[in-house]
């Protein structure tokens, strides 16, 4: 059996999905609060920027992968309107429940599915837009997931990958100190789960950098890939167009 990484640990590929599921089962109830604390609220601006670049139009079909608590799904739903359709999906049922409840509290009802990004249950050429925010780095086989996203997009469709990336060199030491000293303590105090937030910090370091991910997307079939560095590279938005 093949090995892969779970943070800084090496685990069997079959084991990673269950370990990641355990992390998000644990953090789901406090996920939104922790996002605000960890990023100082910047995650809201990063997602707003993603919606602006996506430029969803009324009537379009959108697939939100690793949609979690529903921030992007809600924003897309407002843009595509009643004539469009947004599918809110995640591999983790606990996260999906949190998101569905949040959407319903805002009067928004969307198709909500538990599904694996590496085996998407949708036909070829189904969507105008596919998004994945802060989810790709947790996937076992990123190449397969990107190929599935490409398959389900219509020709001319757009994939948006918003993910933590490689911070600018002058900020590396400060960013590492924050990630491995402050972030786990926040997880301990707020989510009562220090280990899961240590894993999240480690998973960012194991994720491909901006140029590596661009090449992975091109290898998955995207003819054109733009990279938008946000907050000095703490986060990057990769935008791929299906030819």
Residue 23 has pLDDT above 80, yes or no: no
pLDDT digits (tens, 9 = 90+) for 181-201: 998 898 888 878 888 889 888
User: In total, how many domains does the chain have?
Assistant: 1
Distance CA 42, CA 71 (A): 13
Residue 209 has pLDDT above 60, yes or no: yes
CATH number of domain containing 144: 3.40.50.150
pLDDT digits (tens, 9 = 90+) for 32-85: 777 888 889 999 999 999 999 999 999 999 999 999 999 999 999 999 999 999
145 contacts 208 by C-beta, under 8 angstroms? no
Residues 6+ apart with CB under 8 A from 223: 241, 242, 243
**Residue whose pair of structure tokens reads 């986060």 in the numeric block:** 235
113 contacts 87 by C-beta, under 8 angstroms? yes
Average pLDDT over residues 114-122: 96
Distance CA 147, CA 93 (A): 23
pLDDT score recorded for residue 7: 62
Half-sphere exposure of residue 90, counting CA atoms within 13 Å on the CB side? 27
Residue 239 has pLDDT above 80, yes or no: yes
Domain of residue 184 covers 3-242
pLDDT score recorded for residue 208: 96
């Amino acid at each position: 059996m093949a090995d892969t990484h779970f943070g800084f640990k090496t685990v069997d590929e079959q084991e990673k999905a269950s370990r990641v599921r355990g992390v998000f089962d644990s953090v789901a109830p406090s996920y939104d609060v922790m996002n605000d604390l960890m990023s100082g609220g910047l995650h809201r601006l990063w997602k707003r920027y993603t919606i602006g670049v996506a430029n969803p139009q009324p009537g379009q079909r959108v697939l939100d992968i690793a949609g979690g608590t529903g921030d992007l799904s809600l924003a897309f739903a407002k843009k595509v309107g009643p004539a469009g359709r947004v599918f809110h999906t995640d591999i983790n049922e606990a996260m999906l429940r949190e998101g569905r409840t949040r959407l319903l509290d805002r009067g928004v009802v969307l198709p909500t599915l538990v599904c694996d990004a590496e085996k998407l249950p949708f036909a070829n050429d189904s969507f105008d837009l596919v998004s994945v925010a802060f989810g790709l780095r947790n996937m076992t086989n990123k190449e397969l997931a990107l190929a599935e996203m490409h398959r389900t997009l219509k020709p001319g469709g757009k994939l948006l990958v918003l993910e933590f990336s490689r911070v600018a060199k002058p900020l590396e030491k400060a960013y590492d100190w924050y990630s491995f000293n402050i972030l786990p303590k926040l997880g301990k105090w707020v989510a009562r789960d220090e280990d899961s937030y240590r894993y999240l910090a480690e998973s960012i370091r194991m994720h491909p950098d901006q140029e590596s991910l661009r090449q992975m997307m091109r290898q998955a079939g995207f003819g054109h890939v733009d990279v938008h560095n946000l907050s000095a590279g703490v986060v990057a938005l990769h935008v791929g167009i299906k030819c």
